[in-house]
Structure 1
Amino acid sequence: MTGFLGTLEKLAPVALICGMGVLFARRKIIDATLSKAFSEFAFRLAIPAYLLGSFYRADLRQVFNPAAIAAYATTAVLGMTVVATVARTVTRCDARATALRIMAACQVNTAYFAIPVFLLLFGDATPIFPVILLQVCVLTVVVIAIMESTGAPTDSEAATPAGGVRRGLRAAVTTPIVVACYAGIAANLGHLSVPGWATDTLSMTGAAASPVALFALGLHLGGSGIRLRGTSSDEYWLIGMKCVLFPLLAFTIARCVFGLGAPWLGYLTVIAAMPAPQNLFIFAAQYDTDVDLAASVVIKTSVVALLLLPMWVAIAH
C-alpha cells in the first residue's frame, strides 16, 4: 500500500498541471484553441532540447538494452496484428481506417505524457528514448505509408506503395524530436565537446518540456470535453486495447518471454500504458479518416491511462 500511495504522490503533479489546463480552458482564462501553441512549443523546441541534451549525456549502452527493445518491438508487432485482424474482420474497416486504429492502440503519447510521467516516477526519461525512435521511425512510417498509398495520390510518387513508404519515411525522420535524438546520439558517440552555454540552454529549455506539455494536454481536454453518450463499441475496444490489453501484453512478453526484471519490466509496462498519441487526431484530419473517433480516443485514453497508472506501476513491481 505504501508503494501504491507513493506512486499516487509522484503522479499528483501530472494530474494537477493537466487539471489546471482543464480549469483554465473551462473558465475561459486561456482559450482552449491556444493549446496548439503550447503544444507546438513543447513539440518543436522544449522536448527536442530535452532529448538532445539527455542523449548527449546518457550512457547509451544502458539506454539501448537489446532485450528490452526486442520485447517492446515484439509487443508492438503482436498488438498491431491483433488490432488489424479485429479491424478488418470484425469492424470491416478499410486500409486507412485500420492503420489509424493500429496507431491508436499500439502507439503511445511519448512527448506530452510519457516524458513527464517518467521524470516524476523514475527521475529519468531515458528508458523511453528507444521507444520514441522505434515508434517514429518504424511504426509511424508504416501508418503514413498505408495512408499515402491507399488514398487518392497527390503526386506521382505517392501513387505507388514504394512512394508512400518513401514519403512516410521522410515525414517521420525529419520531425524535430527524431532529429534531436539523432543529433544527441551522434554527439555522444563522437565525444563532441559542447560549450557550457549550449548545454545550459538545452537544460533550461528542456526543463519547460514536461509542464508545458501537460498544460497543453489539459487545455485540449478542457476545450474538447469528454463525450460519454453515444460512445461506439469501436471506441470501447480501442480504449480497452490501449489502456489494458497493450500494457498487459508488454508485461507478459517482457517477463515470460524475455525474462526481464526490474527496472526494465516496470519501464516497458508503464511505457505501454501511456495513452494514444496526440498526433492521432492530426493524422485522422489530414487523411479525412474517422476524425471524431480519433479525437475521442485521444481524450479518453488520456484520462483512463492516468487513472490506471498506479495499478500498472504496482503490477510491474
Structure 2
Amino acid sequence: MLDVLSGFAVVIIVMALGFIVGRLRLLGSHAVYTLNMFVFWIALPMLLIHFLSTADLGLLFGANFAVVALSTVLAGILGYAGYRVLARQSPSNSLVAMLASSYCNGTHLGIPLMVHLLDDPTVTLPVVMFQVGFYGPLSVLLLDMSSGDRARHGIVRELALSIIRNPLIIGATTGIALAIIRERTGWVLPDVIAEPIDMISSATIAVALIAFGMSMAEIKVLQRGTSPIKAVFAASAVKTIVHPAIAWCLGSLVFGANGPMLLAMVLVAALPTGQNVFTYAQRFGVNTVLARDTVVISTAMALPAMAVVWLLLN
C-alpha cells in the first residue's frame, strides 16, 4: 500500500510544483500553452514511437480496445440521458454533458500517469485512437447538427484533416509500422535515431504534469450563479466512478480479463475528463462552464479513485 501511495504522491508533488509555478508566474503568461504544445507536438509522439516500436500489438487492439469503446459509449449515453431527462436540457447541452462524463484525458495526463504507474504508455493508445479517430469527430458532428447552424463550411473535411494531421496519430502509426517491421524482419532503429527519440520522450512525464498543474492555477471553478454545480459533480462522478465500474464489468465479466490487463482497463477508464471537451464546447458556444468545471473537478476526484482501483485490482 505504501508503494501505491508513494506512486501517486510523486504525481501529486510534480503537479503541485506546476501549480506553484503557475501561481507565481515564474515562466511567464503563455508558458502553459508553450509547454503543452511541446508535449503534444514533440514529446508525446516520440514517446509513442519509443514504446510502440517494441510493443506487442496484439495486446493493444483486442479486448482492451473493445472495453475502451464500449465503456466510453455507455458512460456517454448515461451522461447524455441524465442531463437531457433529469435536468431537461437541450440536445446540444446534453452532448457536452455526454462528453464530460466519458471523454478521457488520455494524453496530457493519461500517458504520464500510465508510464509512472504501469511503466507502459501504450495502454492508453486504444483510448487515444478511439477518441481522436471516432468519438471526438462524431461528437463534433452531432454538436454541429444540433447547434442549428446549417452552414457547415466543410466541417467533415476539416475533421478528416485534423485526424490525419494529429501528431499522436502520426506517432502511433509510425510506432506501429516500426513494430510490424521488427516482427517480420528483425530490423530496429539504429542507435543514432533511437537515442534522441528516447531522450525527448523521457521529458514527457515531468513537462506534462507541470503544465497541467500550471493550468489548474489559472482556473476558477464552481462559481455560484454561473456554474451548474450539481451537474458538474454528477458528470465528474460518472467519469471517475461509473465509467471505470463499467470498464471492470466489461473487462472481467464479458472479456474475461484479469491481472495487469484488467487493472490497465479500469485505470484508463478512471482518467478524468479531457480538456478537449472544453475545446469542443467553446467552439460551439455550448455549456462551456460545465465542460471547464468538470475537467477540474474530475481531475481532483480521479487520483483518489485511481488509487482505490490500484489497491483493489493490483
C-alpha change, 1:155 and 1:273, in structure 2 (3 Å) is closer
Q: Tell me whether 28-37 or 215-224 shows the greater mean CA deviation.
A: 28-37
Give ranges in structure 1 of 5+ residues lacking alignment. Answer: 159-163
Give the C-alpha shift of residue 113 in structure 1: 1.1
C-alpha change, 1:215 and 1:168, in structure 2 (3 Å) is same
Q: Tell me whether 95-104 or 180-189 shows the greater mean CA deviation.
A: 95-104
2:124 and 2:153 mapped to 1: Cα distance?
37
1:167 and 1:197 mapped to 2: Cα distance?
37
In structure 1, the residue corresponding to 2:5 is in which secondary structure? helix
1:195 and 1:96 mapped to 2: Cα distance?
50
C-alpha change, 1:315 and 1:261, in structure 2 (3 Å) is same
1:19 and 1:255 mapped to 2: Cα distance?
35
Structure 2 residue 138 is matched with structure 1 residue 147: no
Asked whether the equivalents of residues 52 and 184 of structure 1 are also in contact (C-alpha less than 8 Å), the reply is yes
Give the C-alpha shift of residue 155 in structure 1: 4.4
Q: Which amino acid aligns with 2:232?
A: E
Structure 2 residue 37 is matched with structure 1 residue 16: no
Deviations 1:234-253 (A, max 9, x none): 11110111111111111122
Give the C-alpha shift of residue 226 in structure 1: 4.4
- TM value normalised by structure 2: 0.90
2:233 and 2:15 mapped to 1: Cα distance?
23
In structure 2, the residue corresponding to 1:111 is in which secondary structure? coil
**Equivalent residue for 2:171?**
180
**Equivalent residue for 1:203?**
198
2:119 and 2:289 mapped to 1: Cα distance?
36
Structure 2 residue 53 is matched with structure 1 residue 53: no
Deviations 1:207-238 (A, max 9, x none): 11111111111001012144365652211110
Give the C-alpha shift of residue 295 in structure 1: 1.4
Structure 2 residue 133 is matched with structure 1 residue 102: no
Structure 2 residue 167 is matched with structure 1 residue 171: no
Deviations 1:267-295 (A, max 9, x none): 01100111100222222222211222211
RMSD of aligned residue pairs (Cα, Å): 2.0
Asked whether the equivalents of residues 232 and 297 of structure 2 are also in contact (C-alpha less than 8 Å), the reply is no
Question: Mapping of 1:124-163 within 5 angstroms?
Answer: 124-151=120-147, 152-158=149-155
Q: Tell me whether 223-232 or 112-121 shows the greater mean CA deviation.
A: 223-232
Please, which of 276, 283, 290 is the counterpart of residue 279 of structure 1? 276
Query: How high is the sequence identity, in percent, across the aligned residues?
Result: 22
1:188 and 1:83 mapped to 2: Cα distance?
38
1:41 and 1:57 mapped to 2: Cα distance?
24
C-alpha change, 1:242 and 1:139, in structure 2 (3 Å) is same
Q: For this pair of structures, how many residues does the alignment match?
A: 307
Deviations 1:7-40 (A, max 9, x none): 1111222101100011112233234642111111
Deviations 1:126-177 (A, max 9, x none): 222122111211211211221233332454544xxxxx4x543432342111
Q: Tell me whether 104-113 or 182-191 shows the greater mean CA deviation.
A: 182-191
In structure 1, the residue corresponding to 2:217 is in which secondary structure? helix
Structure 2 residue 73 is matched with structure 1 residue 77: yes
**Equivalent residue for 1:161?**
none
Q: Which amino acid aligns with 1:60?
A: L
1:239 and 1:219 mapped to 2: Cα distance?
21
Give the C-alpha shift of residue 59 in structure 1: 1.9
- TM value normalised by structure 1: 0.89
